[in-house]
Amino acid sequence: MRNNNKAFVFDFDDTLARTSCMVNVTVNGEIVKQLTPGEYNSYKLENGECFDYSDFDKIISPVLLETFELAKKVYAENHAVYVLTARGTRAKNAIVEFMSQHGIEANEVYCVGDSTNAIEHEKRVVLMAIMETYGKTYFYDDHGANVEEAKKIGVKSYKV
């Protein structure tokens, strides 16, 4: 069992990897827009619109980003590595497999996209729980609102 005093928490999309996955915006079951993960972070549904996350059940055309190298480095140093993503829980197995294929066995993959609460709120809740276990917690995310919420609770946070 790993004995870690530091936890490193990484968002997945546009932080660890860039993929071709899109979030579909639908009206009455018809796709009316497709959003990149970055666009999804700040998109507000209009009346009658719904999100369709079917692309986010898998990892499509991934490209590793520089932050992935940091994750590999801290993992090799026996620090705890977590993934905290706005994807829904159906994506967990794909992310676990992806991380494993690239040499990282994450301590946990948290998927908070199924909640009706704001993503930054859900990420803050998970970060607070992780903070209780580790002396230092570091958080990396591409979305500024998530980083700012993490800073408010005392997590060393970095926008990538």
Predicted confidence pLDDT, tens digits, the chain (160 residues): 344 589 999 999 999 999 999 999 999 999 999 999 889 888 889 999 999 988 888 999 999 999 999 999 999 999 999 999 999 899 999 999 999 999 999 999 999 988 878 889 999 999 999 999 998 999 999 999 999 999 999 999 999 9
> Which segments within the chain are labelled E, that is strand?
6-10, 17-18, 23-27, 30-35, 49-52, 63-64, 80-85, 108-111, 136-141, 156-159
d(CA 135, CA 36): 35
Domains of the chain (ranges, CATH numbers): 6-16+63-159 (3.40.50.1000), 23-57 (no CATH)
Determine the Cα angle at 118 with ends 116 and 120, to 5°: 140
Assign 3 to helix, strand or coil: coil
